[in-house]
Amino acid sequence: MKIGPYTIDNPLALAPMVGVTDRYFRALCRSLGAGYTVSEMLAANPALRHTRKAALRSDFTGEESPIAVQIAGSDPEWMADAARYNVGLGAEIIDINMGCPAKKVCNKLAGSALLSHPGQVRSILRAVVAAVDVPVTLKIRTGPARAERNGVEIAVMAQQEGIAALAVHGRTRADRFKGCAEYETIRQICEAVTIPVFANGDIESPEKACRVLEQTGADGLMVGRAAQGNPWIFRQIRRYLETGEQATPPSPAEVHAVMASHLRQLHQSYGEEHGVRVARKHICWYLEGRKNAEPVRRKLMRAVTADEQFRLLEDYFSGQEVCREAA
């Protein structure tokens, strides 16, 4: 797959998720099999550019190329300016968010709310593509609502306006994350355009990944929520697609090592107090479904220092390894 001048040898992508896919999680997923990642969403509003949150999200230090940065907004001029600004910070690909269903985004006529306004979509695409000399990509949903699926129309428009690749989530704005993703619209989009298309939505296992590729004819897959607490999903999907074999699940020791490294990076980046709070959601995702994890999960949610989080995890995983050896 090519996005502009960039060859994506492994078209397994990590979906951009606010508050989740910071540069540390992106690097982690890359190390475990993702071939392409996109930054957390950055607001186009120039007044929000110099906050601590924006500074953290705009830090691409050490990122593997190509560095793809997602921007969101409704004003074509602001979006064009945001694209230029982020290219100046090191972005090698600009991704436009027209897929987010969150109310606080849609209430500002951004994200997936734009799908109800094709004229505004075209104005934004045209302005951003003209503003920068790097590839511009687009993330969308299948339409505003099930009775108004216009994903094919938007995709064709995107290609006409110079968009280099698409990512399509198989739900509408109205669906949010309810029900199941549908892949028929993604298949129709793949047939209607020649630019690369990532299929996105409910790709939670290697077998499902294989089925979605077969059903849609997509060029790549984009995994979002299924990677939360399970960055190994990329390794598992990649092995299955390449060999038809299942990857060996991570051992408790590997899970512990990855968790500890991830938490350490969060503590260092956000500062201990805030980093401990940020780490809590990741801890919940990592421990979900693990044997006898609920008691330690509750303690970890009350932990207020980094040392306490590390100690509780050490105690829990030491017990897991003892049980594994006894078995």
Whether residues 160 and 306 fall in one domain: no
Q: How many residues does the chain have?
A: 327
Instruction: Locate the DSSP E strands across 148-194.
Output: 165-169
Residues 15 and 115 in one domain: yes
Amino acid, res. 295: P
Consecutive H or E run containing 127: helix 118-131
Hey, which residues are catalytic here?
Answer: 100
233 with 280, same domain?
Answer: no
| Domain termination residue (choose one: 176, 211, 243) | 243
Scan for tokens 């064009």, then name that residue: 80
pLDDT bucket at 109, cuts 50 / 70 / 90: confident
Our count of domains for the chain comes to: 2
Q: Residue 281, Cβ neighbours under 10 Å: how many? A: 14
Do both 211 and 265 map to the same domain?
A: no
Sheet holding 36-37, edge to edge: 36-37, 12-14, 220-223, 197-200, 165-169, 136-141, 93-98, 68-72, 42-43
The confidence score (pLDDT) of residue 321 equals 56
Let me know whether 118 and 147 are in one domain.
Answer: yes
Q: How many CB atoms lie within 10 A of CB 312?
A: 18
Tokens at residue 162, please? 């110079």
At 55 the pLDDT is: 87
Please give the mean pLDDT across all residues of the chain.
94
The C-alpha angle with vertex 211 and arms to 209 and 216, in degrees rounded to 5, equals 95
- Which tens digit of pLDDT belongs to each residue from 56-67? 888 898 899 999
Is cis: bond before 66, omega within 30 of 0? yes
3-state class (DSSP) for residue 139: strand
Question: What range defines the domain where residue 276 resides?
Answer: 252-326
Query: What is the reported pLDDT for 326?
Result: 42
Domain shared by 58 and 14, yes or no? yes
In terms of domains, do 206 and 153 share one? Answer: yes
Strands 36-37 and 12-14 come out as parallel
Residue where one domain finishes, among candidates 243, 269, 294: 243
Pick the last residue of a domain from 243, 275, 292. Answer: 243
Residue 157: band (very low, low, confident or very high) from pLDDT cuts 50, 70, 90: very high
Same domain, 221 and 261: no
pLDDT for res 322: 44
pTM, entire model: 0.93
Radius of gyration from C-alpha coordinates of the chain:
20
Is the pLDDT confidence value at 145 over 70?
A: yes
